[in-house]
Structure 1
């Protein structure tokens, strides 16, 4: 199983690890555990993620903001959903990128110190009824039309930029837009 872990900005001392699950049958139960804080992670609709880099860029912005006590939402995990979204409204961002009962494919984002990942993963594996698949397969679950609509990316822009670059630019500039 390919493990996707990347070191975030060095000054934070944190890492971001991504896991992809498909054919998940207990989404409402999982969402409840995330909302109550029982699961320490971010759960994202896989259909809106075109590349792991998209999630990492959002996570990195979030941990830097957290280090400076500049979170807009209550937790780093809701903040990731907020930064993935182009909406200025927190509730809309959580609804748009957070999982709902119709989702079967989920991207799990962990933010952790070195060595904490395994215990966090065990909690998640116990909770998710679904198949863990390599993160390299993320594009199989992406709805490209939905991604373009969500990020307001038109055909003209894609003539001069790749889809991932257009998305990452929007995530990177969100602070300035707000």
Structure 2
């Protein structure tokens, strides 16, 4: 499973999540249909608004906590991850902003739980069947837009004088239930 060589483990307390950056996707529409049908156990995330692993770590952690407490806002842990990435409480908007779209050529694949390796293999193999390739997670900056991230999370210039963009984004995600 060569794709797992480039996948990174993100620690979320007592377990890890697997995250893979996939590029040169040509079959996003078909993969999205499989995902919606429930055939794939993963989150497929548009890279545009993803800054770094801290953002993902918090969203995954919040999703797993909600799942454990049986307090999820969405139907499963993978859609809950997308929801938790969003700065507001609108599920449909979260899916549009963070979910893979039919024309996307790059995405992040996230899997959690006991079957995370086999689920990752299934999803990445499906993407690779359309010519996609896995890249090191550090290459995320090739696919994100700092301007778009600042706009989405409503980050003010003053905030960036006292902290990093990553800190501001993570703060928005952490406080979503309070300020949204």
Task: Settle same-fold status: TM greater than 0.5.
Answer: yes
Name which of 3, 8, 19 aligns with 2:7. 3
For residues 153 and 35 of structure 2, the distance between their equivalents in structure 1, rounded to whole angstroms, comes to 25
Which residue does 1:99 correspond to in 2?
Answer: 100
For residues 68 and 117 of structure 2, the distance between their equivalents in structure 1, rounded to whole angstroms, comes to 23
- What SS class does the counterpart of residue 19 from structure 1 fall into? strand
TM-score where L is the length of structure 2:
0.90
CA contact (8 A) 1:18 1:52 kept: no
Which residue does 1:124 correspond to in 2?
Answer: 123
Which residue does 1:73 correspond to in 2?
Answer: 74
For residues 157 and 7 of structure 1, the distance between their equivalents in structure 2, rounded to whole angstroms, comes to 27
For residues 116 and 17 of structure 2, the distance between their equivalents in structure 1, rounded to whole angstroms, comes to 9
Which residue does 1:19 correspond to in 2?
Answer: 20
TM-score where L is the length of structure 1:
0.91
Measured on the aligned residues, the alpha-carbon RMSD in Å equals 1.3
Which runs of 5 or more structure 1 residues have no equivalent in the other structure? Answer: none
For residues 99 and 8 of structure 2, the distance between their equivalents in structure 1, rounded to whole angstroms, comes to 20
Which residue does 1:86 correspond to in 2?
Answer: 87
Which residue does 2:145 correspond to in 1?
Answer: 143
Q: Size of the alignment, in residue pairs? A: 173
- What SS class does the counterpart of residue 21 from structure 2 fall into? strand
Q: Tell me the CA shift for residue 173 of structure 1.
A: 1.1
Which residue does 2:49 correspond to in 1?
Answer: 48
